[in-house]
Amino acid sequence: MKVCKSIRSLLAAAILLTIPIAPVIPASPVVTVCGPSTIEVHYTKDEAEAALACAGAADAVEFLDPIGLVLPLRIRIELVTELPPELAPSAAGCYDVAGQRVLVPDFDHFLQNRTWFGVPATATLYRSVVAHESAHAIAVCHIGDRKLPLAAHEYVAYVTMLATTEQGTRARVLDANPGTGFDHPTQINDLRYVLGPEQFGVESYRHWLKQPDPPGFLRRILAGAVVLDPPM
């Protein structure tokens, strides 16, 4: 997952789970509230990137709400000039569980990566990054005291991200990362995620599409009934 409640660095993982992290957002940010929701974006550059962040968070909410994973009291999104140093260089964001905040690079810094998932970095992909991290924020509020494996969190976040990505961009991402989806739930594991986060993401999405009850499968993932790796 991309969770920053504290810190656990699993190569390309962007999940921070036990040590509180210091804020990395510059001083005096502007705060915008995304429509009538409880999603707020803290930014320092322009309203266009805040609008992209609002749209990405809304994508996650609209996808997860119908399956019973409703929006928590608040999602705070911070668009930052740098992510916490504990994260791998390939990380595109994280969710800080302790601080209850999503951390995403500002749009200019995201574009510096040039590519993501093997395709050119664009505003559409940036919106998808925010959807991914917002999915973590929502999912964490629905697992209670369960300690789920990293792979369980990431499966839900990647499915949310790719299911809500604009169709043409999603097709390019899938074409750049060929595969057929996992053949068995045992393949949804932390090692497979750590060795290839992006491939894990596209294979999770393809696997999810094959489920007879896709919404129910996500609920089972968060209930701890599918991914049986040791919890993170």
Residues 15/150, Cβ–Cβ less than 8 Å: yes
Which of the four pLDDT bands, split at 50, 70 and 90, describes residue 4? very low
Is residue 89 within 8 A of residue 174, CB to CB? The reply is no
pTM for the model: 0.88
Q: What is the mean pLDDT of the chain?
A: 87
Question: Which two structure tokens, joined as six digits, stand for 97?
Answer: 């569980």
What pLDDT does 228 receive? 81
What's the burial of 147, exposed, middle or buried (CB within 10 Å: 0-12/13-18/19+)?
Answer: exposed
Beta bridge partners of 139: none
Q: Output the pLDDT for position 16.
A: 45
Any idea where the domains of the chain sit in the sequence? 15-140, 150-222
Residue 28 is predicted with a pLDDT of 66
| Distance between CA atoms of residues 26 and 78, nearest Å | 10
H or E segment to which residue 102 belongs? strand 101-105
Q: What is the C-alpha separation between 51 and 181, in angstroms, rounded?
A: 33
11 pLDDT band, cuts 50/70/90, is very low
| pLDDT tens, position by position, 92-126 | 999 998 888 999 999 999 999 889 999 999 999 99
**Closest CA relative to residue 58, chosen from 50, 232, 140, 107:** 50
| Signed CA dihedral, 51, 56, 60, 63: sign only | positive
Q: What are phi and psi of 156, to 5 degrees?
A: -65, -45
Residue 8 confidence class, pLDDT cut points 50, 70, 90? very low
What's the helix, strand, coil split of the chain in %, to 5? Answer: 45, 15, 45
Under 8 Å between Cβ of 80 and 2: no
Widest pairwise Cα distance in the chain: 49
21-60 per-position pLDDT tens digit: 444 545 568 999 998 778 999 998 889 999 999 999 999 9
Phi-psi region of 180 (alpha: psi -120 to 50; beta: other; left: phi over 0): alpha
